[in-house]
Structure 1
């Protein structure tokens, strides 16, 4: 099912334009849990634009008016959470680790993932940084975490309003790790040092450099195909373990 949240993320993650449509999508993600409490005039005021500009984007998505958008939002939000509940039943995380080689010590690896879940829970926002394909793999993780009430955004170089802060958890995905070093050199204005951060890489050199708060080093050396499966498994583990620890059996308003 191509739910509304997925459609918004597809546009937001892929667009190259910092315009009203982009800002609307960011607002939608930031306020996903209570989006229906905002009128279109409220949103236009927050974004310093006009209701007509927002309606133009909604028509691009296939909606005739704001009310029909809200109706689909409410329906899809409920459906998605019910899907997650059904899919998460009786999942054993050990089977995920055994499915593909992500560590030489499964017990220590799962402990690291649990620590990542805790830091994500303690953060106000999760920022994903990486190349196109790894970021496309992360969309399911992004969708579920937003459904859980956690803001998860991909970093775009053209969005000058996105400055990292102490409440962010920044996840870098780089098989070689070199892009992280380049990012830190060219993006000094982002204040990465103020955040809690994680690097997922195959390169032991960058694991030892400790450029980020945490590092997950997976087996392999610049093996792009295997790395894609590894990060898919890691994102699956994070969302499953996060759900089991912080969402399952916890009363919510979903």
Structure 2
């Protein structure tokens, strides 16, 4: 998904620097379905910046006029949405599942391929106001397409910081997805889990270990498998969640 949405995600995926560029990119992604109806003054107000700051931001992407920028962004949103709807009929999860079944133990395979957990997560995402991602840069980078696709389906997606000085507190209406293979982010950032839980949002975790109270909210990636298999399982989760959500809720966009 090499398009304008990906470029905007680069700004919000650096939450250690929440400057005016971060504010504008977040606003554009949150309103990407409405952008064609918004004036530059309205965008500036929603981003809490001046019109001149918006124009400076657009020049980063080579746009001299806001009207051209919003037309291109609108096209990219609808092209990707159309691609996703077309690919729904081409999805063949059984191919990937047969590969996973060959390398995982029977118990682990059925945990990874649990359709009930997938359905519950998609229902929770649909109800949530925003999707908040927390985790290591490596795992978050793997979720870039996942982020962009949910933005296209009208769901605000933000990456939160692991570090105390830059965190925001997820609201009870948010859904938090934590990505960490070993849980080391909790060692690097004291009080992170307590901070994320303080307003009682629904939280899911993906990795080797479950740091949450309920197994229902855990997406396991087994230990003692090759890194290629780890990445395959992570991508399997992200892709299955995306297309299951698109099939159930994407047509409402």
State if a TM-score over 0.5 links the two structures.
yes
**1:174 corresponds to which of 160, 164, 180:** 180
Q: May I ask how many residue pairs the two structures share in their alignment?
A: 247
* Cα deviation, residue 38, structure 1: 1.8
Matched, 1:123 2:135: no
* Cα deviation, residue 194, structure 1: 1.1
Q: What is aligned with 1:27?
A: 27
Relative to the length of structure 1, the TM-score reads 0.85
Mapped to 2, the partners of 1:212 and 1:109 lie a distance apart of 12
Whether the aligned pair in 2 keeps the contact of 1:196 and 1:213 (CA below 8 Å) is no
**2:144 corresponds to which of 136, 139, 143:** 139
| Unmatched runs of 5 consecutive residues or more in structure 1 | none
Matched, 1:104 2:103: no
Matched, 1:63 2:69: no
Range that drifts further, 124-133 or 78-87: 78-87
Q: What is aligned with 1:217?
A: 220
Kindly tell me: are residues 14 and 4 of structure 1, through their superposed partners in 2, closer, same or farther at Cα, counting changes over 3 Å? same
Q: What is aligned with 1:11?
A: 11
Q: What is aligned with 1:241?
A: 244
Mapped to 1, the partners of 2:179 and 2:215 lie a distance apart of 12
Whether the aligned pair in 2 keeps the contact of 1:175 and 1:223 (CA below 8 Å) is no
Mapped to 2, the partners of 1:159 and 1:240 lie a distance apart of 35
* Cα deviation, residue 43, structure 1: 2.0
Matched position secondary structure for 2:175: strand
Whether the aligned pair in 2 keeps the contact of 1:3 and 1:80 (CA below 8 Å) is no
| Unmatched runs of 5 consecutive residues or more in structure 2 | none
Relative to the length of structure 2, the TM-score reads 0.85
* Cα deviation, residue 202, structure 1: 1.4
- Alignment of structure 1 residues 191-206 onto 2, 5 Å: 191-203=197-209, 206=210
Mapped to 2, the partners of 1:212 and 1:105 lie a distance apart of 13
Kindly tell me: are residues 199 and 16 of structure 1, through their superposed partners in 2, closer, same or farther at Cα, counting changes over 3 Å? closer
Range that drifts further, 177-186 or 50-59: 177-186
Whether the aligned pair in 2 keeps the contact of 1:201 and 1:217 (CA below 8 Å) is yes
Mapped to 2, the partners of 1:237 and 1:118 lie a distance apart of 14
Matched, 1:165 2:171: yes
Kindly tell me: are residues 194 and 108 of structure 1, through their superposed partners in 2, closer, same or farther at Cα, counting changes over 3 Å? same
Kindly tell me: are residues 212 and 51 of structure 1, through their superposed partners in 2, closer, same or farther at Cα, counting changes over 3 Å? farther
Kindly tell me: are residues 107 and 201 of structure 1, through their superposed partners in 2, closer, same or farther at Cα, counting changes over 3 Å? closer
Kindly tell me: are residues 83 and 20 of structure 1, through their superposed partners in 2, closer, same or farther at Cα, counting changes over 3 Å? same
Kindly tell me: are residues 215 and 147 of structure 1, through their superposed partners in 2, closer, same or farther at Cα, counting changes over 3 Å? same
**1:151 corresponds to which of 156, 175, 195:** 156
Q: Pairwise CA RMSD of aligned residues?
A: 2.7
Kindly tell me: are residues 212 and 177 of structure 1, through their superposed partners in 2, closer, same or farther at Cα, counting changes over 3 Å? farther
* Cα deviation, residue 173, structure 1: 0.8
* Cα deviation, residue 187, structure 1: 6.5
Deviations 1:172-206 (A, max 9, x none): 01111242466561464555451000011213xx3
Range that drifts further, 81-90 or 176-185: 176-185
